[in-house]
Structure 1
Amino acid sequence: MTEIVFSRNDAVLGQLALRPVDPAADAPLLHGWVTHPKAAFWLMQDAGLADVEREYASIAASDYHDAFVGLHEGRPAFLVERYDPAHVELKGLHPARPGDIGMHFLTAPTGTPLPGFTLAVITTVMDLLFSDPSVRRVVVEPDVRNTAIHRLNEAMGFRPVGTIAKPEKDALLSVCTREQFLAARGAIR
């Protein structure tokens, strides 16, 4: 069992926790998630199992990027990536500031969705990121067409900065300060 690096108890949905991705052991699980039609914006639809393992091995070896399997009540249920936007994803596209951190998250496909689960997941991710006192802002760059995530980001306190052209997509760059997140979190409780 891999070490839990962060956990949070959601009053409605119970225990949410994060552990580092083990690229070899987790590749079959992650492959099913990132190639599922629901994960179209993850941009790995055509990836093979070896591609997924290679991608997460590369992330695990990086000094600027890491990935976590999210657990709900002890069972794998979501994926999180955390990155330094000065070195990964936004390098040369956004003037990163000291204290910036970037993130991606993906909830696992399921036939029995839990109401409020995605909101609980993003709250857990934001709590993880802001648990580091050096983090001042969270930066995200979802596809401009992903309106569902834009609404969710707004609910977390993110404010759009503008559209940026990345090699793989046009993205809506948005940022959330610690204060914006805490204010939004207070509003959604």
Structure 2
Amino acid sequence: MTRQTTRHTTRHTVRYTDFTFRPVDPQADGELLHRWVTHPKAAFWMMADARQEDVERAYLEIAADEHHHALLGLRGGEPAFLMEKYDPAHRELTGLYEPEPGDVGMHFLVPATDTPEHGFTRAVITAVLAHLFADPAAARVVVEPDVRNKAVHALNEAVGFEALREIEKPEKRALLSVCTRERFRAATGAVA
């Protein structure tokens, strides 16, 4: 008699509530951040050739900047992604668009992994936006990803971003996009 074994797999759904945030410690987190931002899959982060000390210096500058902040997204207490928030009236987009009261700029990076998890990146961007909109002063999230980064454009649209126009930045041609609290809630059902 032959015994037949059935293998069952369970699909785990990552929720945006699975994450917490803490400020980046540029020196303590330097090695980790260097590994993340120099990986070929992080090409749009534009730090491929950076040395660890370059990464630490960049995040020390952010830590000292009242208009720019870097946070690590944690899952189960372990670093899972990087998020930056900035005031687009003073950083990144100064002179490139008309800021509105309550605008907050954002970047995020999900590091490369050998074991991708279905829905992880979508849960991350949802968590990032929920975190930003938890501040009652935040009315819109503004992003400026590279126009060639089609994957992030689709992801942004899925969570409520509206593409406004292409803009020319010193380092890239970018797609200026905004997401209001209402569009975010309608697209995701998430609550800040």
User: What does 1:30-49 align with in structure 2 at a 5 Å threshold?
Assistant: 30-49=33-52
Q: How many residues align?
A: 177
Q: Deviations over 1:102-148 (max 9, x none)?
A: 00000111100110000000000000000000110000000000000
User: What does 1:78-93 align with in structure 2 at a 5 Å threshold?
Assistant: 78-93=81-96
SS at match of 1:78: strand
CA distance in 1, matches of 2:189, 2:130: 13
Q: TM-score, normalised by structure 2?
A: 0.90
SS at match of 1:87: coil
Q: TM-score, normalised by structure 1?
A: 0.91
- Residue aligning to 2:137: 134
Is 1:178 the counterpart of 2:181? The answer is yes
Amino acid at match of 1:12: T
Return the offset for 1:13.
Answer: 2.6
- Residue aligning to 1:4: none
- Residue aligning to 1:26: 29
- Residue aligning to 1:3: none
Amino acid at match of 1:13: V
CA distance in 2, matches of 1:180, 1:56: 31
Q: Which has the higher contact order (CA 8 A, sep 6+)?
A: 2
Amino acid at match of 1:38: K
Any unmatched runs of 5+ in structure 1? Answer: 1-10
CA distance in 2, matches of 1:60, 1:95: 26
User: Residue 147 of structure 2 contacts residue 175 of structure 2 at CA under 8 Å; is this kept in 1?
Assistant: yes
The structure whose residues are more often strand, as a share, is 1
- Residue aligning to 2:125: 122
CA distance in 1, matches of 2:20, 2:184: 20
Superposition RMSD on alpha carbons, in Å?
Answer: 1.2
**Among the aligned pairs, what percent are the same residue?**
62
Is 1:97 the counterpart of 2:100? The answer is yes
User: Residue 37 of structure 2 contacts residue 48 of structure 2 at CA under 8 Å; is this kept in 1?
Assistant: yes
SS at match of 1:24: coil
Return the offset for 1:86.
Answer: 0.1
Is 1:157 the counterpart of 2:157? The answer is no
SS at match of 2:50: coil
- Residue aligning to 1:13: 14
SS at match of 2:141: strand
Could you say which structure has the larger radius of gyration?
2
Amino acid at match of 1:23: P
CA distance in 2, matches of 1:71, 1:167: 32
- Residue aligning to 2:63: 60
SS at match of 2:27: helix
User: Which segments of structure 1 move beyond 4 Å, counting only runs of 4 or more?
Assistant: none
Q: Deviations over 1:75-116 (max 9, x none)?
A: 211000000000000001111111000000001111001100
Any unmatched runs of 5+ in structure 2? Answer: 1-11
